[in-house]
Amino acid sequence: MNLSNNTVERITKIYGYLDALEDREVGFVSSKELSEAVGATDHTIRKDISLLKIGGYTRKGYSVRSLKFELAEKLELNKKRKACIVGLGRLGTALLDYEQDKEDGFEIVAGFDCSINKLERIHTYIEVFSMSELENTIKERAIDLGIVTVPVKAAQQVADQLIEVGIKGILNFSPAKIVVPKSIIYLDMDFTNALRFIAAKFIIK
Amino acid sequence: MNLSNNTVERITKIYGYLDALEDREVGFVSSKELSEAVGATDHTIRKDISLLKIGGYTRKGYSVRSLKFELAEKLELNKKRKACIVGLGRLGTALLDYEQDKEDGFEIVAGFDCSINKLERIHTYIEVFSMSELENTIKERAIDLGIVTVPVKAAQQVADQLIEVGIKGILNFSPAKIVVPKSIIYLDMDFTNALRFIAAKFIIK
């Protein structure tokens, strides 16, 4: 399948909305409601879903359960790829303990930090390692995704190291801009940019 | 000004990119380079910038410094609105200490938690309060933005409380879906959705 990032983003938001509807035991949802939840037009949402070759739009709308099931199948969200966190400051350790009972496609299986002191003080169910064990651990555990929570100055170097040892995706929580080859899946969770977006919305309605 | 969320998002990403270029002492940037950094077409970027009534595209491209300056003026990123963090678990305390030397439009001036024990154990330069002091503190300090880092179950209630005492924007870090009135500026920093997006990109190229 070859879909734009915008489509993929809308689809994953739809999935999250269906998940919330299922918790509330809602049976059916219209494409209009989905479009409002996601912030796109009715038409776009139906097109996005049909691009995944999913049908099932009835008079009552989509069945919440079966649309959610089909999306999970298509996006392989039930499959748990392996992820690691690099940088175990407060943010990194917070993410180690993130409530992960959801189908989100990943399982965090390791944490890394360069400070042995910090590693000794961390209490978590997830195994933690020093940076010198990065290569071995990532290869042995077949880890696909690196979640980067190191300080700005170390971010690019850590990303380069992760890519060198075979990681396929990077989720960057540092405010640094990281440059990666096109073959690497990359996403920024940029707090600074989020604040700027909100600040701009105060001015631009 | 009346711009779409997509335009505002691109503009704030452009700003972040200009900021990185300025750090590297780059003088000029083409709209093509900006478009690649942001993931939109050349044409879209130039249109976004012109919607803000900013000109200055020369043969060498935009001047990094003056475009950044003009964007900061238009979006009032130099103005520091006041923000608070509600929920001082690991993520909340990590954000309290976030490296905030950047023009991002906000200054974090208070943290809140319902656990007095937790409040006593927290070491930070930013003042922390119990939830019973929420209303007074937000009104006295004229806080505009609430950053929500409470567990899923408390998220909607905390958001309702914030809105009731006059907050104008909410940045939601909890995986909960929060419902807010249309007049409230709202943004999700959804880790679960970010993981799903990356998982989907493993399948959908």
B140-163 average pLDDT score? 94
Percent of chain A with pLDDT over 90: 59
A110 forms bridges with which residues in the sheet? A84
Question: Alpha-carbon distance B180 to B188, whole Å?
Answer: 12
What per-residue confidence (pLDDT) applies to B100?
Answer: 62
Q: Is the dihedral of CA B85, B87, B89, B91 positive or negative?
A: negative
Residue A104 and residue A75 in contact, taking contact as beta carbons nearer than 8 Å: no
What per-residue confidence (pLDDT) applies to B5?
Answer: 83
Which chain B residue lies closest to A17 (C-alpha atoms)?
A: B177
Q: Is the Cβ pair B192, A15 closer than 8 Å?
A: no
Question: Alpha-carbon distance A10 to A46, whole Å?
Answer: 11
Higher-pLDDT residue of A67, B55: A67
Per the prediction, chain B carries an average pLDDT of 90
Q: Is the Cβ pair B193, A75 closer than 8 Å?
A: no
- CA nearest B37: which of A186, A2, A12? A186
What per-residue confidence (pLDDT) applies to A101?
Answer: 65
A37-43 average pLDDT score? 85
Residue B185 and residue B168 in contact, taking contact as beta carbons nearer than 8 Å: yes
For an interface test with A, the pick among B19, B80, B95, B201 (most A C-beta atoms closer than 10 Å) comes out as B201
- DSSP characters for B41-73? -HHHHHHHHHHTT----BTTBEEHHHHHHHHHH
- For residue B203, give the 3-state DSSP assignment: helix
Higher-pLDDT residue of B22, B39: B22
Q: Which residues of A touch B145 (CB under 8 A)?
A: 195, 198
Q: Is the ipTM of this complex over 0.95?
A: no
Q: How close A133 gets to chain B, by Cα (Å)?
A: 24
pLDDT at B175 > cutoff 80:
no
What per-residue confidence (pLDDT) applies to A4?
Answer: 84
pLDDT digits (tens, 9 = 90+) for A64-84: 999 999 999 999 998 899 999
B76 touches chain A (CB under 8 A): yes
Q: Which residues of A touch B197 (CB under 8 A)?
A: 8-9, 12, 187
Choice among B86-90, B98-102, B149-153 with the minimum mean pLDDT: B98-102
- For residue A172, give the 3-state DSSP assignment: strand
A160-184 average pLDDT score? 92
Q: Is the Cβ pair A2, B204 closer than 8 Å?
A: yes
- CA nearest A57: which of A42, A76, A72? A42
B146 forms bridges with which residues in the sheet? B84, B170
Q: Which of left, alpha, beta for B166 (phi over 0: left; psi -120 to 50: alpha)?
A: left
CA angle A19, A23, A24 (to 5 degrees): 120
Which 8-state DSSP code applies to residue B131?
A: G
Question: Alpha-carbon distance A106 to A83, whole Å?
Answer: 6
B105 touches chain A (CB under 8 A): yes
B171-to-B10, B53, B119 alpha-carbon distances in Å: 18, 28, 22
Q: How close B60 gets to chain A, by Cα (Å)?
A: 23
User: How many Cβ atoms from other residues are within 10 Å of residue A158's Cβ?
Assistant: 25
Question: Alpha-carbon distance B20 to A93, whole Å?
Answer: 27
pLDDT at A57 > cutoff 90:
no
pLDDT at A62 > cutoff 90:
yes
Which 8-state DSSP code applies to residue B58?
A: B
Task: At A204, list the tokens.
Answer: 């631009």
For an interface test with A, the pick among B8, B171, B196 (most A C-beta atoms closer than 10 Å) comes out as B196
CA angle A132, A164, A77 (to 5 degrees): 100
pLDDT band at B99 (very low <50, low <70, confident <90, very high): low
Which chain B residue lies closest to A83 (C-alpha atoms)?
A: B195
